[in-house]
Structure 1
Amino acid sequence: MKDTLKKYLFEDRSLRIQTVNLSQTWQETLAHQTYHPVLRNLLGELSAAAVLLASNIKFDGSLVLQLQGDGPIALIVVECNQHLQLRATIKTRQEFVIKDTDNLQSLLNANKQGRFIVVLDPNNRQEGQQAYQGIVPLTGDTVADVLSLYMKSSEQLETHLYLAANENKATGLLLQKLPYTGGQSIDQEVADNSWERATMLTQTTKPEEQLSIDEDTLIHRLFWEESLIAYPAQDVSWFCSCSRERVADMLKMLGADEVESILAEQNKITVACDFCGKPYVFDTIDSAKLFLPDQSANESLQKH
């Protein structure tokens, strides 16, 4: 069953509700990585949040969420593009020991130097054009706290996020008040009442509940008395741009002498993707083919 993001509007169109289920995508995220459960769950929550936020950005490119820390975690990066294709990784400092009691602040902001960065990176940037970056301090005990504060301060959008993750699933629920433009389509008093009601309903949501039931059931439990406008579900999937061919190109850049030196020590060359951790192994024959002068070497490499 495919992972999906689902969107709803309140009948008065004053607020949006979104859910995302990352099960297969989450398993692919973890396929080549082994994380402490605290790190794994933190990465899962940020991954679910990235999909929820990226789905509301209308542009050709990627939303990148970065948490930079001065503690056990050096960097967390989650990227989600306009097709809701996701990739995510964590870089840790080996001198630290991760504890079961660690949280966002102890892992990333122990010395108050942690930062949360939102990047909007268009696919076809013009020469000299920079990706948009929004930087905010790491205020709050959870990913949801940090992101809700960012949405309110930087985007002027009241937003509540409910995120949860374990070894099987990452999931998220977003509640967001839509801007009031002063037109006749949304009555301000009605909109305020809807927001207050919806906020009270979603505040009952617990991570254990999100992880134990499906998102459709959760929406029904929370909003069974409301009239919601449902939109078609959108597929979510894992995607990393690493490939054997890219690793081969990198080894070619090292040069034949350097490659032979590594082989002399290790009998093979193993390169893991910096992002997803997928390993690529080149034995003596594979490495020799890299430096053959004709194109048949590349064809043989791809088939190996």
Structure 2
Amino acid sequence: MTEHDTLLRFIFKHTPMKGACVKLTTAWKSMRQYQKWPVCVTRLMGEMTAGSILLASSLKFEGSLIMQVQGDGPVRLAIVEVRNGLLVRATVKMNTNEELSDSMDMKALLNAHGRGRCAIMLDPKDRREGEPLYQGVVPLTGENIAQALMGYMEQSEQIHTKLWLAADENAVGGLMLQQMPDFGGKDENIKDDEESVNRIETLAATITDEELLGLSCQEVTHRLFWEEAPEYFEATEPKFACTCSREKVAAMIKNLGEVEALQIIKDEGKLEVTCDFCGRTETFNAEDIVNLFDDGSAEKNN
């Protein structure tokens, strides 16, 4: 565990509030290693990554959380998936004929004409074949991903949530506060809900992007809540992990067929397959294809 890739969860004793803080540097570098995202898209995907990890950390289920935003601007589709163990990957589809500038925010990138949508999908580990995913879809609102996710949580889940997210080319950071919906409030030591919620949220609202990106989660939470003395859970480590592999690409080429694969190589000089999520490219030449179809499971005639 390093302070560079950390998720830190905490609660405020005698209040209905819980929170989490996330910081990624090494994992974020790995996510972007083969990607060529413009600056504004890098910021968007980083904020989505931080927000998705924070939401996933608040759920008590085995499976994957998938955040999907469909847009009507330069970005058509952006997806972040967080699997068990906080394994994260992301992909984005852009309209190539749209011009981008470094200063573009989420609204300009995804909701230029007000038709953007935000969806959160949950894929349980034990989901039976044919069983649909849980999916909540709401109109995309706000100027940034934090506001969009807060709008989603209020509209779809009715859970009061506050988020602060930041991202650049080097780091991703985020802070989340949630009011626990099933909080009993019968303990006589519990302070007035509204008063405690307002105080904690006011403290959190003083966080800056520079602090989220430059400080560790421990430093962020101490800086904000040292007087509140939150109780911490054991920190966990989010990691970048894509499910693609050369073996999976080879299986796809087998489904395509030897004749078709060799024709692509004849036309293009090589056969390349790029993973949408990690951006890594697997390259096959004619010899690779011949060997692939000559391993006992070939389709070619003898």
Map of 2:75 onto structure 1: 73
Indicate conservation of the 8 Å contact 1:55/1:82, yes or no: no
Indicate conservation of the 8 Å contact 2:7/2:217, yes or no: no
Indicate conservation of the 8 Å contact 1:14/1:186, yes or no: no
CA distance in 1, matches of 2:106, 2:266: 43
Map of 2:245 onto structure 1: 243
Alignment of 1:40-189 (within 5 A): 40-179=42-181, 181-185=183-187, 189=191
CA distance in 1, matches of 2:169, 2:227: 33
CA distance in 2, matches of 1:250, 1:96: 32
For 2:110, the aligned partner's letter is L
Q: CA deviation at 1:144?
A: 0.4
Structure 1 segments (4+ residues) deviating >3 Å: 180-183, 185-189
Indicate conservation of the 8 Å contact 1:66/1:75, yes or no: yes
Map of 2:195 onto structure 1: 193
CA distance in 1, matches of 2:169, 2:254: 38
CA distance in 2, matches of 1:186, 1:30: 50
User: Per the alignment, do residues 68 and 242 of structure 1 end up closer, same or farther by CA in structure 2, a change over 3 Å counting?
Assistant: same
94-103 vs 124-133, greater mean Cα deviation? 124-133
Q: CA RMSD in A?
A: 1.7
CA distance in 2, matches of 1:148, 1:235: 24
Map of 1:39 onto structure 2: 41
What is the aligned residue count? 296
CA distance in 1, matches of 2:34, 2:183: 47
For 1:164, the aligned partner's letter is A
CA distance in 1, matches of 2:117, 2:209: 25
SS of 1:174's partner is strand
Q: TM-score, normalised by structure 2?
A: 0.93
CA distance in 1, matches of 2:129, 2:279: 32
Q: CA deviation at 1:183?
A: 4.8
For 2:82, the aligned partner's letter is C
Indicate conservation of the 8 Å contact 1:63/1:118, yes or no: yes
Please give the per-residue CA displacement for 1:91-110, whole angstroms capped at 9, x wherever unaligned: 10101011123211111111
CA distance in 2, matches of 1:153, 1:116: 11
For 2:248, the aligned partner's letter is R
CA distance in 1, matches of 2:151, 2:197: 17
For 1:70, the aligned partner's letter is D
Q: CA deviation at 1:293?
A: 4.1
38-47 vs 204-213, greater mean Cα deviation? 204-213
Q: TM-score, normalised by structure 1?
A: 0.92
Indicate conservation of the 8 Å contact 2:23/2:212, yes or no: no
Indicate conservation of the 8 Å contact 1:180/1:188, yes or no: no
SS of 1:217's partner is helix
Map of 2:265 onto structure 1: 263
Structure 1 unaligned regions, length at least 5: 298-304
SS of 2:90's partner is strand
